Amino acid sequence: MRWGICETCKREKLIWRHKKNQKLLCSTCRYHDTSLHEECSKCGKAKSVGARTGSGEAICRNCYKKDPKTFKRCSLCGNKRRVEKLDSQGKPICGSCSRQVAICKKCGEKKEIQALSLCHKCYHIQHVAKKLARVSQQAVISG
């Protein structure tokens, strides 16, 4: 996984090299590219692969998310749920607990934190500003 240009949508995003066709794709294009879909070993539908069984059979994202075998006990609330993320020690945290409410370090409002101690809005404003700066820098270099 790295930052780059998706070969399908031509947008600058996080991209992965797909093992099957060797294309560099963003997660959206990888999900929608039907040539990469495989039959899910659980529901039998041809869909984007979300995971694989120990023997390598495909499992679609929907079946994987619903499979109780993939649930773990949340280290914060103690409920057995789908893991949303891991804490700094690698302990599982469920989706409800992962949505932290804190003071955003940019706007100062108490909101759900996206990343880097920033709320969703401030995080995306910062992300877009960095992206525009990169594009401007490339334009100066090439122009």
93 in any annotated domain:
no
Q: Which two tokens stand for residue 114?
A: 């996206």
Predicted structure pTM score: 0.52
9 in any annotated domain:
yes
Query: How far apart (Å, rounded) are the C-alpha atoms in residues 79 and 31?
Result: 30
Is there a contact between 72 and 80 (Cβ–Cβ < 8 Å)? yes
The domain tally of the chain equals 2
Q: Where are the alpha helices (DSSP H) in the chain?
A: 27-32, 61-66, 95-98, 120-142
Query: What mean pLDDT is predicted for residues 87-110?
Result: 86
pLDDT of residue 136: 66
pLDDT of residue 46: 94
105 in any annotated domain:
yes
26 in any annotated domain:
yes
67 in any annotated domain:
no
Which range marks the domain in which residue 16 is found? 1-32
127 in any annotated domain:
yes
17 in any annotated domain:
yes
For the stretch 47-85, pLDDT in tens is 988 888 889 999 998 998 888 888 999 998 899 988 888
